[in-house]
Structure 1
Amino acid sequence: MRSTYTEKLEQLSTGLAEMCGLAEDAMDQATEALLQADLPLAEHVLATRPRFDELAARCEEQAFALLALQAPVAGDLRQIVSGIQIVADLKRMGALAAHIAKVAARNHPEHALPEEVGGHVAEMGRIAVALADAAREVLVTHDPQRAGHLQAEDDAMDDLHHHLLTVLMDREWRHGVGAAVDVALLGRFYERFADHAVQVARRVVFLATGEMPDQVVDHELL
């Protein structure tokens, strides 16, 4: 019985990592579609949503079945409850990548981004993909130290988001209200994607240690 239970916990972890990998790929492709005004690629991102939703439903079913049938305690209970919460974060990450793809598709064949903000958005996309990749890694390893390092990349994303809004507020902005709205929304999509990736990492820290990240002492600093 215990071996079957452990196997089901591993299946849940594998499913979460697969979901995170899909979100990472979707963000990478959505950013490329946005920067290149690539309609087929944007449509490809949108077409992956059923697979993402299928994985999310399967992970949730696995987690609830473990709760209902196994009465887990201690670390196992943390893993299952954290898994349910992580599914919600990953679903949101997938949805945010899809929102970016929709902006690219809606503006096709034109580019959604004015030239002066293209570099900023490209860097936000790079950071978002790197955070998703790191989140996927910690979902596999349950390494609280690695999970704790995601905050620095998220700070860089916040700085880029703030700078992007500064560009939009500049009097020299000459691309109209529609473009400004799109850029503002895109900045928010990237910023929230990063926040959810960091939240996944925070939940892994709790899963591994029983403490939220701000309660964890980094013994390497002592």
Structure 2
Amino acid sequence: MTISVVLADDHVLMRQGVSQMIEADPDLTVVGECGDGVELIDQTLRLTPDVVVMDISMPKMSGLVAIDKLLSQRPDTRILVLSMHDEVEYVEAMQGAGAKGYLLKESSGDELIAAIKKVAQGKTVFPNADTGQSEISPAARRLSPLSALTRREREVFFLVAAGNTSKKIAELLDMSLKTAENHRSNIYKKLNVSSSAELIRMAGKAGLLE
């Protein structure tokens, strides 16, 4: 049985290259390609692929928000994140959001194909000894600024770090302005910052910015 894949990456050349690698395997087929988070949700709900392969950073909607929206509407969606970021905070955030796997863009085509097949089987693929990457240690998790935040607060955290206003965050996450402001306030308290500028500096030091 062929495994169907929807691929999301805003870099066209990267997306085309990944698509060619996937299509080269007889067990896999790309049924949809998109360049932003909004398209990703639309195509996934319409095409119901076995696996979604997606980047974290995309226009219109961040990967973290896209994962949340996808899983809220289609909980059985199996998501493999393909990213350039090897920082523990990114892996932790995507795993906590509900992704089934996390693979670096520097990985080989064989590693990508193997990861897609594992995720399609319901297995998880995250950095560990089996992949040759460093395992996420409990100490590293405690050091992550995201570890104290809830799933929803992590979404707001990334949107604030990207420079969005509370009004824009409310629109993107389909919540009231008051709820968005409450989340922002709670995040500031938990991270011991007093402004978006301080939060952005913290995110930069933690390697959470592009």
TM range (shorter): under 0.3
* TM-score, with structure 2 as normaliser: 0.27
* TM-score, with structure 1 as normaliser: 0.26
Structure with the larger helix share: 1
User: Which has the greater radius of gyration?
Assistant: 1
